[in-house]
Structure 1
Amino acid sequence: MSMQQQKAFLQEQNFRVETVHFKALDGYALTGMLYRPTSEIKASIVLSCATGVPQAFYRRFAEYATQSGYQVLTFDYRGVALSAPERLKGFQMSYLDWGKYDLSGAIEYLNQSELPVYMVGHSYGGQALGLTSNHDKVKAMYCFGTGAGWHGYMPFKEKIKVQVIWNLIFPPMVAVKGYLPWSMLNMGADLPKDVYKEWRRWCKNPTYFFADPAQAELHHLYEQVKTPIYAVSSLDDDWALPSSRYAFMQHYKNAPMKFINISADDFGLKQIGHMGYFRKGAEPLWDTILNTFDEISA
């Protein structure tokens, strides 16, 4: 679709959006947005967010996908944005809950319609599939910027920046607030303290949470995934370069895997980075996702 066609589509508003509420597998109440074309729906897409990124950030992609006949569910993980409690301080959870319970609940919610379910994951979203108990219900996943999080995979300047943030900036902020007030730095939504603590610990190791003795079962869980995966890394995404992507994605040992490296020039963009996969201007990239899902369904 050309940009002119896209604009015409959005002006016509031939899709509808509704706020939906559903349960995570452990019963936690989650809030999402369901984008649906007014014409026939051929399949569903669940959008699994990056850490600390509210679902609203993915609105453009969700709207765009409806013109290809897909309904898209975006949702906020527990502790984030619309799915956060009134008071974040003292809220207890595991970082793994987002995949284990929340994403699993979203897949179950979409599966009620009996339409094929596809997944698009951003950063943590690509990690989360292996944590779900119903990954067999996902026909294919496209993930962007999914990596191991270790600073050693990053370029020198980004490596120093990240270590300063983790070791000098975040600790006193969390100590004072009782949660990670990420919004104060315009970096994302505020995060529960438990998420911050686990994330910080795992990012210190080249193999992320797979190196944590307390999480030994994760090796087995990820080996069970057989969903085809398309793992995309932009060569200017300093947080998840190909080496970081491989360090994590290799644990999906039995999933048909396609590694895809892209650059901003490939899509006529000045920059992609870690967030540009879903920003305005990335429509040509979204077409590759939707065309791939079309081919799988054919």
Structure 2
Amino acid sequence: MLQEHGAERRSLTIEAEGARLAACYYAPIGALHANVVLHGATGVPQRYYSAFASWAAARGIGVLTYDYRDFGASQHRPMRESHATFADWAILDQGAAERALAELAPEGPLWVLGHSLGGLAFAFRRHDVRVERITTVGAGFGHVSDHPWSYRPLALAFWYAVGPVGTVLAGYLPGKRLLLGEDLPAGVYWQWRRWCTRRDFFRSDIGLSLPEPDFRMDGPALRMLTMEDDVVVPPVAVQRYADAFPQGRMEYRVLTPAEFGLPSLRHIEVFSKRATAAWPALLGLPDAFAEEPGPN
């Protein structure tokens, strides 16, 4: 058991279908408010979320983070030998992590927090009866044409030039060598590419690698957040995702940097330490949670 910024961090392994996922559980401090599983964004290792998880734990919210199969601390073989797909991450690994949290935290409410890819697949799964809230951050049915012109050249290169060429040559996406982020299994990159370059997004995979989604799902409160200055998954893509749900079922909110006194929020950086002022909004908490907790 490790101590991180006052929170107890326990390392553990999650058994997923065909994989073992490296995970960390940040135990809640003081009175229990809830426990949340954090499904990360594509190419973002769980360590990136450690400051956020410690912050939440200090406020009575336990947090489970993990790395998807064949990525980050869950990589147990050479990347080019991986057969993982985007759907494996979204369906098998996210489902296993939610079940693991229910076992780790047998009492109290459960929340699901999905960042980008982490928020795209909850309608494909049944959830524990204790799950009372599902929140997505920067998750949307994006298309390459949604990006503003300032970002579009990079997106086009990623999907149509250096990304596919590098993946074919290396047998995986060599993101680090290409200065495009983390390395990714080839199957993850190709399926991700297909979703983001087709107008029907993941529709063509339903019935193949994806089950039929239930956008009318009952139960948990649903919240969908987007950042006004997100150029990776712009608000228009998030709104498109929200529109898949019945009217009134989804709470949709655009977060602006100004409301938190910040110069920017953006897609990945909203979970960085500099965006701490926005963290209560990500979890749907009162602004008072932004203040430093007092001694127990």
TM-score by length of 1: 0.86
Report 1:259-270 matches (<5 A): 259-270=252-263
Q: Which of residues 204, 209, 220 is equivalent to 2:202?
A: 209
Partner of 2:9: 17
Partner of 1:241: 234
Structure 1 or 2: more helix by fraction = 1
Tell me whether 1:50 sits opposite 2:21 in the alignment: no
> Residue 207 of structure 1: SS of its match in structure 2?
coil
What is the one-letter code of the residue matched to 1:125? G
What is the one-letter code of the residue matched to 1:232? L
Number of residues paired by the alignment?
Answer: 283
TM-score by length of 2: 0.86
Report 1:84-163 matches (<5 A): 84-112=75-103, 113-114=105-106, 115-134=108-127, 137-163=130-156
**Cα distance per residue 1:238-280 (max 9 Å; x no partner):** 1222210122233344882111112212212112221121011
Greater mean alpha carbon deviation, residues 12-21 or residues 201-210: 12-21
Given that 2:112 and 2:131 are in contact with CA atoms closer than 8 Å, whether structure 1 keeps it comes out as: yes
What is the one-letter code of the residue matched to 1:262? L
Given that 1:130 and 1:222 are in contact with CA atoms closer than 8 Å, whether structure 2 keeps it comes out as: yes
Query: d(CA) in 1 for partners of 2:30 and 2:271?
Result: 24
Identity across matched positions, percent: 28
**Cα distance change on mapping 1:123 and 1:97 into 2, 3 Å:** same
**Cα distance change on mapping 1:168 and 1:136 into 2, 3 Å:** farther
Query: d(CA) in 1 for partners of 2:35 and 2:206?
Result: 36
Report 1:25-64 matches (<5 A): 26-64=17-55
What is the one-letter code of the residue matched to 2:39? S
Query: d(CA) in 2 for partners of 1:22 and 1:161?
Result: 35
> Residue 176 of structure 2: SS of its match in structure 1?
helix
Partner of 1:83: 74
Alignment gaps of 5+ in structure 1? 1-10
Query: d(CA) in 1 for partners of 2:229 and 2:5?
Result: 34
Query: d(CA) in 1 for partners of 2:135 and 2:33?
Result: 18
**Cα distance change on mapping 1:88 and 1:285 into 2, 3 Å:** same
Query: d(CA) in 2 for partners of 1:276 and 1:139?
Result: 26
**Cα distance per residue 1:112-162 (max 9 Å; x no partner):** 222311011111111031233436552112221111231121112322321
Given that 1:136 and 1:225 are in contact with CA atoms closer than 8 Å, whether structure 2 keeps it comes out as: no
> Residue 154 of structure 2: SS of its match in structure 1?
helix
Query: d(CA) in 1 for partners of 2:26 and 2:207?
Result: 39
Query: d(CA) in 1 for partners of 2:195 and 2:136?
Result: 20
Query: d(CA) in 2 for partners of 1:12 and 1:161?
Result: 36
Name the Cα RMSD after superposition.
2.5
Q: Which of residues 50, 53, 60 is equivalent to 1:69?
A: 60
